[in-house]
Each structure stands twice: as structure tokens, then as C-alpha cells.
Amino acid sequence: MRITLEVWRQASSQAPGKFVTYQVDDATPQMSMPEMLDRLNDQIVESGGEPVAFESDCREGICGCCGITVDDRPHGPVPNTPTCQQHLRNFNDGDIVRLEPFRSAAFPVVKDLVVDRTALDEVVSSGGYVSVDTGTAPDAEDRQITFARAEKALDFAACIGCGACVAACPNGAAHLFGGALLTHFATLPQGRAERSKRAREVGAALEDNFGPCSTYAECVDVCPAGIPLAAIGAVNREKIRLAWRRGSDD
């Protein structure tokens, strides 16, 4: 299987970048995107060139660090699937495939296909925690949670922080990411004690680092974790609740 790759090459965040064309002649339909890049880098190194920088870790769709843009679509052609689970069987022999980093002002390019996702970390550090009393662990039945509530919290906690939602949004918004975090904590009793403070801090981090929600829901179609659209509404809902309570915590 022959695949022609147009790969974005950029030495650093300050250096100009450009697309460079490569050809992989021995690709197979079973190869994932990272595996194809591994093969490409083998060829480049064998010829004395500089390998393409890209991120990957678990390659099981869990860590979220492998994200790149494939033919102008975050992660690739298959909806709700991370880059490491996008395979060449979704392409045809002889196809030309364009690979570039996630495009967003919030994600500056570090090198080639690697971007800096620190802006997402700032959202997490602003409200992705709960304050608890240290010491002896509480009994499991101290706080009763229904099965439905626990499942809802887990659905929103499934976000892997890849940043595809930001790259897909025309405004570079991270409301799907921030809303998933807010809903996760608001659903569980452990997170309610600081719910108002969390809404204030997470909302401020979203406004400081990202753009406003475009309301087109492009983010939902590319999210590998399948975070529902309701997460976006949670951002404004928590802000309204905060204003109603005049900024006091639960």
C-alpha cells in the first residue's frame, strides 16, 4: 500500500513551517497513524534526515497525547476516534494524506506535529480537584450515590484531554472540555462543596485561554471519549448558578 504524506515540518515555535512531501511504499491497512509515522521516520533516519516529531504514549486511545490533524480533521476521518485508533484501512492505495498539528491559538506548535497543551492544564489546575479532610479513609457507604448518578459522573470524567474539541472549534473554544470537568464534579457529592468556586475559576480559565463557544458542535463529532453536547451547556449553567448564589460556595 502506497501512501503519499504531506507532513507539516516546523523546527520550533519561532521558526516558520511548511509542508514536506514523503512517500511510504510499504504501508499496510492495519497500520495506525502513529505506526505509519514510525515507518516514515525509519525511512527518514535511514536516509540521514531529521525524523518527524510527534507525540504518542499508550496507543490504546486512553492518554490523548497522540492527537494530530489528518486531512483538516482533528484525529482523522473516523468520528469519535483518537489518532492512534485511526487506521490506514480507512484510506485507499495511492491516497495523498495531509498531516499537521492541532491548529489553535491556545496550542502553539512546539515542533512539527507536537503542540503545547498547557492551556488545558490551566483549566484543570483551576478547578479539577476537591478539598478533603486527610487522615483515616472514610467508609465506602458514608456517601450514598445512586448507580445512575455514578454512571453520569463517569461519562463526563471520560475526557482524555486530547484537545481535539479545541482544534475542531472555529473559535478555539474548550467548552466541551471545561463543561465535562464541571459536570463531573457537580454530579458527585465530593465536588459540591466547592461548586461555586470551581465554576468561577474554571470559567475564568476558559475565558483567559480559549475562545467563545461557536455553538456549531464540531467538538462533539471529534471527541474520542464521546463527551455529550450537554457538557457545553454546563459551562453557562454553572455560571448562572454562581451568579444566582452571589458567588458563595455550597
Pairwise CA distance, residues 117 & 202, whole Å: 16
**CB half-sphere exposure, 208, CA atoms < 13 A:** 13
Show the cell assigned to 166.
479545541
Distance of CA 173 to the CA centre of its chain: 12
- Region of 217 (left: φ > 0; alpha: ψ -120 to 50; beta: rest) is left
Return the C-alpha torsion angle 80, 81, 86, 90, nearest 10. -30
- pLDDT surpasses 70 at 205: yes
Alpha-helix runs per DSSP H in the chain: 33-46, 118-127, 147-157, 164-168, 175-187, 189-192, 195-209, 218-222, 230-244
List the domains of the chain with CATH numbers.
Answer: 3-111 (3.10.20.30), 118-244 (1.10.1060.10)
- pLDDT surpasses 80 at 133: no
Pairwise CA distance, residues 41 & 217, whole Å: 35
Pairwise CA distance, residues 36 & 31, whole Å: 6
- pLDDT surpasses 80 at 37: yes
Query: Which is nearest to 82 in space by CA: 99, 104, 65?
Result: 65
Per residue in 134-174, pLDDT (tens digit) is 777 777 677 788 999 999 999 999 999 999 999 999 999 99
Q: What pLDDT shows up at residue 27?
A: 95
**List of residues 6+ apart from 76 with CB closer than 8 A:** 33, 70, 83, 86, 90
Q: What is the pTM of this model?
A: 0.90
In three-state secondary structure terms, 166 is helix
Rounded mean pLDDT of 176-194? 93
Rounded mean pLDDT of 206-226? 94
Q: What pLDDT shows up at residue 246?
A: 64
- pLDDT surpasses 80 at 212: yes
Q: What pLDDT shows up at residue 38?
A: 97
Q: Residue 247 — very low, low, confident or very high, per pLDDT cuts 50/70/90?
A: very low
- Region of 234 (left: φ > 0; alpha: ψ -120 to 50; beta: rest) is alpha
